[in-house]
Amino acid sequence: MDESPEVEPSPGVTGHMQFHRMDDMTPTDFEVLREVHEENLHKLPALLLSMLDLLGGDEAYPVDRRAHSLQAATRALRDGRDEEYVVVALLHDISETLGPLNHGDVIAAILKPFISESNYWMLEHHPLFQTYFYGTQVGVDPNGRDQFRDSPYFDQTAEFCALYDEVSFDPDYVNESIEVFVPMVHRVLNKAWSPPSS
Ligand SMILES: [Fe+2]
Ligand SMILES: [Fe+2]
């Protein structure tokens, strides 16, 4: 996929670390390490968008899951949701390939540094909340979400599933193109790296 013209040029990595163990690292090593992390951050939007593309061509679904994701994001955009929410809608299922048993946990963890606590919680719990709509047909308690009634994010997550996730398998719905969303993904993920503090 071509990168958006709005995308900053890669910061690049200019050196090579010399250490054999981390407690021997020099200031020069740390500077190169910082560059490596910055480079990884720079590449993250394209990597996540490529994971979205992996959901394409999934012919078993009424619309493939890439189109499902675009549809969820398009509905959110047309409802006037903020940019972070739209990006969360776009990426909410990309980890189905990497975490088929816990895709909500996986995408929530990946996006945690970039998004609000409420959107993080929503991503983490959306698979369970989705069962409200189909659990009965597969022998799963559709009210499993009720254990989280006291969460301040319960209503937001229930709403996300009702308005954007469970309904977004409509082959007749006209999505915005991915190009509309690519700059949004870059803006939401635009954050400088800093060493872990814990
Ligand atoms: Fe999902
Ligand atoms: Fe979904």
Give 21-71 pLDDT, tens digit per residue: 999 999 999 999 999 999 999 999 999 999 999 999 888 888 999 999 999
Give me the sign of the Cα torsion angle 99, 104, 108, 109.
negative
How far does residue 40's CA lie from ligand 2's centre (Å)? 27
50-188 under CATH 3.40.50.300, yes or no: no
Give 159-179 pLDDT, tens digit per residue: 999 999 999 999 999 999 999
How far does residue 2's CA lie from ligand 2's centre (Å)? 25
CB 4 within 8 A of CB 156: no
Q: How many helices (H) and strands (E) does the chain have?
A: 7, 0
Closest ligand relative to 95 C-alpha: 1
State the number of CA atoms in the 13 A half-sphere of 96 facing the CB. 17
How far does residue 86's CA lie from ligand 1's centre (Å)? 15
How far does residue 103's CA lie from ligand 1's centre (Å)? 7
**Cα–Cα nearest to 128, from 163, 165, 91, 95:** 165
Q: Name residue, tokens 């599933």.
A: 161
CB 36 within 8 A of CB 13: yes
**Taking the complete model, does pTM exceed 0.75, yes or no?**
yes
Give 72-90 pLDDT, tens digit per residue: 999 999 999 999 999 999 9
Domain ranges across the chain: 50-188
